[in-house]
Each structure stands twice: as structure tokens, then as C-alpha cells.
Amino acid sequence: MDDVEPEPFTATLTFRMGILGALITDRLAERTRAYGLKVKHVGMLAALAGSGPMSQLELARLMRVAPSLVVSLADHLEGMKAIQRLRDPDDRRRQRLELTDSGRDLLADCTEAARALGDDLTSSLDADERALLEDLLAAIARAEGLPS
């Protein structure tokens, strides 16, 4: 008689963030495909834009991916002239990666696509709710040590 209705799995924050994160990432992938980029490529451009030029190993740690993945992502971006690889003259083992102007343009286009997708996703919210959601997500990201 004092039983309470148990919270369904689909009502957990975990489930909803997981599903919505996958949904929006899929949609972003669709859009960035037009620029010849996977989502991880865009993540790499964004990391370089946000933290400045850095070595591949630093980038791997920042992006939380294996160093071998940075190689193939960087190969692709270098092939598109979106980044430059520069041997560090002080330590010739290190490749210093930096954005080119065209990489910066590409990132701007992808950022605009992301912005539009976010607006779509939150089109059922009013402006205050949308701003509140952004603040809450930003607070969590900050607490988790994520960029930016």
C-alpha cells in the first residue's frame, strides 16, 4: 500500500542524455559529411581552435582518443589543407598541428550547422528555457572538465 511507482529507465537523465546525444551527433554527422568531415574531424578542428596549436599526443589526450586515431584524422585534415603539420625544430619527434585559414572557415561552417541543429532540437522550448538548458549543460561540462 505504500508502494511507489518506480521510475522507468526511459525517464532517467542518463537514458535521455544518451539518446539525445546520439540523435544530435547523427544529425551533425549528416551535415558535416557535405564538407568531407566526420564529427571527430570537427572535434579536432575545434580543439585546435580552442587551445591553439599542439602536438598530436597532446591532442590525443585532450580528445580522449588513441594517438593512432589522431594520425588518421590529421592525415585527412592535412590532405584537405585544413591543418598544417610542422616539425618542432627543438624536438624533431613532435608534430605541431595548427589550423589553416581554410580550416578556420571550415570550422565556422560546421559551427553554424551545429547551431542550427541545436535550434531545431530545442524548437519546442521558449527562449528562456533554451538559454537555461544551455547554462545547465555548460555547468555540467565545466564540472566534468570538458571544453570549453
Q: What is the contact surface with DNA in residues (CB under 7 A)?
A: 29, 38, 40, 55-58, 64-72, 74-75, 85, 91-96
Integer Cα distance of 126 and 107 in angstroms: 28
* Smallest gap from residue 112 Cβ to DNA (A): 21
Q: Which of positions 84-113 make contact with a copy of itself (CB under 8 A)?
A: 107-108, 110-111
Residue that has been written with the C-alpha cell 592525415 in this structure: 75
Helix (H) or strand (E) holding 86: strand 83-87
* CA pseudo-torsion sign 36, 48, 107, 144: positive
Task: Verify binding: residue 122, a copy of itself, rule CB under 8 A.
Answer: yes
Alpha carbon 41 to its chain centroid, in Å, reads: 9
Does the footprint of a copy of itself cover residue 7 (CB under 8 A)?
A: yes
What are 119's three cell numbers? 535550434
- Residue 80 near a copy of itself by CB under 8 A: no
* Contact with a copy of itself (CB under 8 A) among 30, 88, 105, 134: 134
Cα 49 to Cα 104: distance, rounded to the nearest angstrom: 8
Which one, 50 or 67, has the nearer CB to DNA? 67
In the complex, what is the shortest distance from the CB of residue 94 to DNA, in angstroms, rounded to a whole number?
4
> What is the β-pairing status of strands 95-99 and 54-55?
antiparallel
| Beta carbon of residue 3, minimum distance to DNA (angstroms, whole number) | 33
Residue closer to a copy of itself, measured from CB, 86 or 141: 141
Is residue 34 part of the contact set for a copy of itself (CB under 8 A)? no
107 in Cβ contact with 99 (< 8 Å): yes
